Each structure stands twice: as C-alpha cells, then as structure tokens.
Amino acid sequence: MNRPETARHYRSSDGLRLFYHDFAPDRPGTPVICLPGLTRNSRDFDELAAHLSATRRVLTPDLRGRGFSDHDPEWRNYHPGTYVRDVWTLLDELGIDAVIVIGTSLGGLIAMAMAAQDASRLAGVVMNDIGPEVAAEGLLRIQTYTGKLPPVANWDEAQAQTREIYGPWLPGLSDAEWDKMTWRAYRAGADGVPAQDIDRNIGRAVREVGPQVGDPWMLFDALRDTPTLLLHGVMSDILTPAIIDKMRARKQDLQVVDVPDRGHAPLLNERECIAAIDTFIREL
C-alpha cells in the first residue's frame, strides 16, 4: 500500500532521521503503535493499520536501519534499548501520553522494555509470537540468516529467497501473497535490483552484542497491570507452549490466542488475529 500522505519523519535523540506512517491522526481514543520484527519494517502493518485506522490513530514506524529510516553508523546501537528510546522520542514529539503497542517479535520485546521504564504509558500490549524467552532453535535460525542473505538479481529471486526463509512458517500463501511479503522486505535500488531493506550490520549486532543486561522475565513482570494479548503461531520455533505456560503462571490474566497454520510470526491479517485484536483494543 503506497500512502505518501501518511508518511512522516522525526529525529532520534542521536540525530538519525527516522520514518513512520501516521494514519488517521485526528481519530479519538488511545492511539496504536505497531512495532515490527527484527528484519522487517512498517510495511508489514499496512493491512492492519488500514483496518484499525477506521476507528483510531495508528502509527507504524521503521526502526533505525530498516525501511526508510537512516542506517546507524554505529552498529552496536542496534539493540532494544536504543529502539525503546527512539519510540519514546516519537511519542513525545507527537504529544502522546499513552498508547496501545502491537509488537511482532522484536516489537514485543520493545513493548516489555517500555513497560519496565514506564508502564503507565501503555494502555495495552499485543505481543505477536514472542515471550521473554526465545526458544534456542528459533534463535539459532534467525542468527544464521540475519544480515547474511546473498544478493539477488531480480524480483523473482527475491521472492524465492523470501519463500525459503518464511515458507515453512506460512503455509498456504498464494503467489500474490508471496509477492506482497517480498515487496515488504525488499526495495529496489537505483539500478532496479531489489535488496533486503535492512542494514546488514543488524545481523552483526545480533551475533556479537549479545543479550541485553538484566532478566527478561523481570521486563515481562512490568506488564503485571497492563492488559496483554499474546498471539501464538502454533507452529512457532520462537514461542513454545512451555514458554507460554511460564508466562501464564506469572500473569494470570494474560490472554492467549492460538493462530493455526502459522509459525513465527503470524501476519496479523489472519481472521483469528483481526478478531482478537479488535476485541482486545475495543475497551482500551
């Protein structure tokens, strides 16, 4: 979806020019901010944002190093602490005191870290196939390909690469849906050749910076008083039933919705996801 009328930029605290879409800024009610996964960008939320913006304001930023946001010259800045600071900067610039966060994978980790810093500003959180722990098998898979994909020569090769990465986790997509997945992850350069729309140094950061200091379960505990919906791709190698059981034990009001025929991560256009999100945010 090409929506130039919603495109905006802001400056991070360290001077990067960061991109976001601002859908329906005049809508009443608590705004929604959608935060993407590690190698993804704001385009993943086009359909969801179009749906939700019928009733409320929706923000969809590109994290630094992705999409139309600047790449960071210091690759060690590619970690959740920096992303959290960037999100607060955006919300403060727009004068938004409280939001509903919808976070896919890394975006859900950012939401937990935001809660640990100031839970009063989170009216609710939707975590898309992510918990405080990341299953070892899934983490290894992500580390293997992030920032390491070979270049492609054309859009057909880009789609083949997209299918190779996500095919096991997204069964049943049509050719048109794979085209959309590819367009959201790649962008053509001046020569017309598509390339993955991320800074390859993000992969270096994932492999070399290591985990953030602190106990991730303490970050999750910061959501104790925040309404939280967990979407679980039943085929996921990132969010396992054992991790969900631990989350439920620590937060008994956690809402969990299983998404069939999806691994990591649901696309958020599935009927189960749309219905669950609509119901969840209706009263927030």
pLDDT tens-place string over residues 181-229 = 999 999 998 899 999 999 999 988 888 865 555 689 999 999 999 999 9
Q: Is the pLDDT of residue 2 over 90?
A: no
Dihedral, CA of residue 17, residue 18, residue 21 and residue 24, to nearest 10 = -80
Could you tell me if 222 and 114 are in contact, meaning their C-beta atoms sit under 8 angstroms apart?
Answer: no
pLDDT at 214: 66
Tokens 């839970």 map to which residue?
Answer: 119
pLDDT at 212: 58
Query: Which residues lie below 8 Å from residue 121, measured CB to CB, with a gap of 6+?
Result: 91, 97, 98, 99, 114
What is the mean predicted confidence (pLDDT) over 238-249? 96
pLDDT at 120: 97
pLDDT at 134: 87
The mean pLDDT of the chain is: 93
Q: Is the pLDDT of residue 283 over 90?
A: no
pLDDT at 176: 95
Least confident of 145-149, 152-156, 270-274, 280-284: 145-149
> What whole-number distance in Å separates Cα of residue 111 and Cα of residue 46?
20
**CATH fold of 4-135+213-281:** Rossmann fold (3.40.50)
pLDDT at 119: 97
Distance of CA 264 to the CA centre of its chain: 12
- Encoded tokens for 252: 């008994």
Length of the chain: 284
Taking only the tens place, the pLDDT of each residue in 106-158 is 999 999 999 999 999 999 999 999 999 988 787 788 777 776 789 999 999 99
Q: Is the pLDDT of residue 26 over 90?
A: yes
